[in-house]
Amino acid sequence: MRKIYTIAAIILAVSITIVAEDKAKHPLSLQESLQRALKDNPLVKIERINTDIAESIVKDNDVSAYDPNLRAAYDVSNRIKKPTSTSHDLSLSLSESLPTGTDIGFTIGASGSSGTSQLTKRDTSIYQNSVRLTVTQALLQGLGKSANLVTLQKSKIDLNIRKEELAAYALKLLSDTERAYWDLLSSGEQMSIYTYSLELAQRLLYESEERLKIGGIAPIELVALRAEVASRERQLFDAQTAYRQKSLTLAYLMNAPELMDAELLLTDSAGVELGAADAVDDHIEAAKSFRPDYLQAFMQAQKGELDLVQTKNGLLPRLDFHASLSGVTDAKSFPTALAPGAGGDISPVIAAGLTLQLPIRNTSARERYRRSEFSMDQQRLSIANYVRQIDYEIRSAHMEVLRAKRQIETAKTVSALQLQKLEAEQEKMNAGKSTGYAVLQVQRDLVSANLDEAQARTSYVAALLTLYSKDGTFLQRRGVKF
């Protein structure tokens, strides 16, 4: 039986070595894993395209809404029945709307009608050219940039919201990637601990088998030792499988299919040197400047304020002032009518007036304004709730960081004491005052303490990542900028 277990252990060790040698080794730092995740992840690219679309909308609202508009028109008509005549009408106009609520238009035109009187046989042709400048200014509804630039300002806010959505996605992706990195490192430490645990059990089994040869122990004591060796082989296999799964997770988050079958050699180590928590109030204040969801809620409130301005302006009656300067001259032919002033001096005509449009009930505008007020109240309550939520989440995360940090020192102390306990129990067994089963129990306690120590370091890093995610500073701390 001893030979069978020894051969099985050798086969297991050789198989692990062969698998490790068949895989390509790839050194991987935390910084490289974060960079690859941000650069190669297709969902990040999709979020960036959404940002580009929002930026295009801003440019559209900023430029096209107040672009000058040039219009040209030419019409010709013929009268078929006698007396026959031909009419021409040509116009060229340039108009522009300004964000102040001002509309400006300039038009030049030429018209003509050629024909002969059926009675007098005289030429009845008439040709004219005209020039007209008009200005219309809103005095109540539609007055000022605050009312007319709402669409542009909202599109700019939408662009900033898209950027915060991209930042929120990047924060989650990189936080998940870093967690996967430390989880893989922790899994590797656990695999080493289980390997060490198996070596301890195999060594104890070998020593017990040698003692059996000289009659130092009863054969029945080997049963528990062999069962323990088999159990620890299973634990090592499970740890190796978990390590492989975590390696796949990290490769997936980095969008690195070429690393799916590679052996990742992590070059960073988890420890307290990765950072420490600041004062809890500092993290709460940082969240108001960096946390993407809070910033998005604040921006939505800004859009609500713009809607309030726009709908309040819509409650006003429409009162416009308009003024025009125009002139008409005669010409001898249609071609000469194309040149203003060809027929003589232009007699200018100045006109001005007011136009009032007053809805009797204006129900639709009033209801839009009421809805804007309700929406604004919701946004204010949402921001207040976010502040409350941030305060709770950060205090809870900060408390967990302090607890996890304290656990590291405690776990180190327990591991050191368990090692001393194992050495003492081993000496007692060598002196014949203890049994192999008792040594196995102490070995289990040592392995458990080593696992707790490794987990304590990983838990501390995870608590820090949670805190940095809750206050929104994770991207800044990792040097990521948009």
pLDDT tens readout for residues 153-175: 888 898 999 889 889 999 999 99
Residue 205 falls inside a structural domain: yes
Residue 226 falls inside a structural domain: yes
Q: Same domain, yes or no, for 335 and 458?
A: no
Residue 156 falls inside a structural domain: yes
Q: Same domain, yes or no, for 249 and 322?
A: no
Q: Which residues pair with 295 in a beta bridge?
A: none
Q: How many domains does the chain have?
A: 2
Dist CA 317 CA 140 (whole Å): 7
Q: Same domain, yes or no, for 73 and 162?
A: no
User: Both tokens of residue 427?
Assistant: 């000496």
Q: Same domain, yes or no, for 297 and 395?
A: yes
Q: Same domain, yes or no, for 74 and 118?
A: yes
Domain residue limits at 295: 2-40+150-305+372-477
CATH of the domain at 208: 1.20.1600.10
Asked if residues 110 and 156 have their Cβ atoms less than 8 Å apart, the reply is: no
Asked if residues 309 and 368 have their Cβ atoms less than 8 Å apart, the reply is: no
pLDDT for res 103: 93
Read off the pLDDT of residues 415-441 as tens digits, 9 standing for 90 and up. 999 999 989 988 888 887 878 878 888
Residue 363 falls inside a structural domain: no
Asked if residues 321 and 136 have their Cβ atoms less than 8 Å apart, the reply is: yes
Residue 341, Ramachandran bin (φ over 0: left; ψ between -120 and 50: alpha; else beta): left
Q: Same domain, yes or no, for 13 and 157?
A: yes
Cα–Cα separations (whole angstroms), residue 14 to 9, 35, 198, 226, 241 = 9, 36, 15, 20, 17
Q: Which residue has the higher pLDDT, 464 or 481?
A: 464
Q: Same domain, yes or no, for 341 and 392?
A: no
Q: Same domain, yes or no, for 9 and 89?
A: no
Instruction: Please provide the average confidence, as pLDDT, over all residues in the chain.
Output: 84
Q: Which residue has the higher pLDDT, 208 or 456?
A: 456
Read off the pLDDT of residues 200-247 as tens digits, 9 standing for 90 and up. 889 988 888 888 877 767 788 788 888 989 999 999 999 999 999 999
Q: Same domain, yes or no, for 287 and 323?
A: no
Q: Same domain, yes or no, for 297 and 322?
A: no
Residue in the block written with tokens 């009162």 = 319
Q: Which residue has the higher pLDDT, 293 or 347?
A: 293
Least Cα distance to 125 among 91, 86, 90, 89 occurs for 86
Q: Same domain, yes or no, for 216 and 110?
A: no
Dist CA 293 CA 383 (whole Å): 10
Segment 338-355 shows an average pLDDT of: 74
Residue 310 falls inside a structural domain: no
Residue 8 falls inside a structural domain: yes
Q: Same domain, yes or no, for 123 and 165?
A: no
Least Cα distance to 178 among 262, 250, 273, 264 occurs for 250
